[in-house]
Amino acid sequence: MKHTKPQNGDIRADGRRFDGTTWRKQGTNHHFNEDGLVYYKRKFRSLEGYLQQGGNISRLVFGKIKKPKAITKIANLLYNKEKSGHVYIITNPSFKGWVKVGMAIDAEDRCNSYQTSSPYRNYKLFYSKWFEDRRSAEKKALDKLYNITTSQYGEWFRVKPTLAREIIKAI
């Protein structure tokens, strides 16, 4: 029996494809594997690499992803891709005199996520405003708040909620 050298693109019975130098595990374009890698243009790539090579998020097929890290990475990428959303103010009577100013695609949903960390479920959405570019609007609001208060912890500020609302309204 004559042995022939494999040609680029040949596929073995075990499903591996010859890429010209070695046999590689093959996939289907735009499909995630269990490690959170995307098969695109005949090789597995990170999500960032897939997008840099011209991949499109809307064409991704997720299949059977089981690793939480891969799922988190995908969710974060999709969340960060969306520009519009709310800049919001959240209050809690347990933190009298303090307000949380932040951004989210949906301010009510964000407030509900805070509720899970409070046994009293006492976070309140004081105010929110929709922006086409929520990141830019949040940065402007935070910059103004940093300039007018001396007490802050991250995005929590010791300031009257009405003053924070006026700052966001003015953006």
58-89 confidence digits (pLDDT tens): 777 776 666 777 777 777 877 877 899 999 99
> What tens digit of pLDDT does each residue of 15-33 get?
677 777 777 766 667 777 7
pLDDT of residue 27: 62
Q: What pTM was computed for the model?
A: 0.65
User: Which residue, 121, 123, 88, is CA-closest to 104?
Assistant: 88
Reading the block at residue 125, the tokens are: 């959405």
Reading the block at residue 87, the tokens are: 């800049």
Domain ranges of the chain: 16-81, 85-169
Q: What angle do CA 100, 104, 107 make, to 5 degrees?
A: 70
| Beta-bridge mates of residue 157 | 99, 152
Phi, psi of 136, deg, nearest 5: -65, -45
Is 57 in contact with 51 (CB distance < 8 Å)?
Answer: yes
Phi, psi of 5, deg, nearest 5: -70, 135
SS3 letters across 121-134: CCCEEEEEEEECCH
